C-alpha cells in the first residue's frame, strides 16, 4: 500500500498533517480521489464532505467550505477556509 503526505490547513492552523492512503474531495470539475503517484495539478475545491483514508479500511470524514488543492509528486496540500472532522 503506497501512501503520500497530506497537509490540510485552515486559518485556525493545520487540521491534518501526516501520511495517508487516499484523499477524496469535490473539485469544481467533479469528484477527485487523490492517491500516491497522482499526476501533479492545482484546482479549486467546492464546499462538500471530504474523506481522509489513513489506510484501505480506516477513514476520517470532514466537512470543508472549499479551498485550494495542490498535488505534487509525493505531497498534497489542501488550504481551506474551514475544515472540521466529524469525529
| pLDDT per residue as tens, the chain (87 positions) | 799 999 999 999 999 999 999 999 999 999 999 999 999 999 999 999 999 999 999 999 999 999 999 999 889 999 999 999 996
Tell me what pLDDT residue 73 has: 87
CATH number of the domain where residue 51 is located: 2.60.15.10
* Spatial distance between the Cα atoms of 58 and 47, rounded to a whole number of angstroms: 23
Tell me what pLDDT residue 14 has: 97
Q: Which domain holds residue 54?
A: 4-85
| Domains of the chain: total | 1
**Residue 33, class by beta-carbon neighbours within 10 Å (0-12 exposed, 13-18 middle, 19+ buried)?**
exposed
pTM: 0.94
Beta carbons within 8 Å of 25's beta carbon, 6+ residues apart: 31, 32, 34, 45, 48, 50, 64, 69, 78
Cβ pair 34, 25 in contact under 8 A: yes
Tell me what pLDDT residue 55 has: 94
Amino acid at each position: 500500500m503506497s501512501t503520500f503526505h497530506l497537509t490540510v490547513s485552515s486559518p485556525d492552523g493545520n487540521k491534518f498533517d501526516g501520511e495517508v492512503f487516499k484523499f477524496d474531495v469535490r473539485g469544481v470539475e467533479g469528484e477527485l480521489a487523490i492517491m500516491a503517484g497522482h499526476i501533479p495539478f492545482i484546482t479549486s475545491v467546492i464546499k462538500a464532505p471530504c474523506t481522509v483514508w489513513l489506510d484501505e479500511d480506516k477513514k476520517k470524514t470532514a466537512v470543508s467550505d472549499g479551498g485550494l488543492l495542490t498535488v505534487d509528486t509525493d505531497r498534497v496540500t489542501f488550504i481551506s477556509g474551514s475544515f472540521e472532522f466529524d469525529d
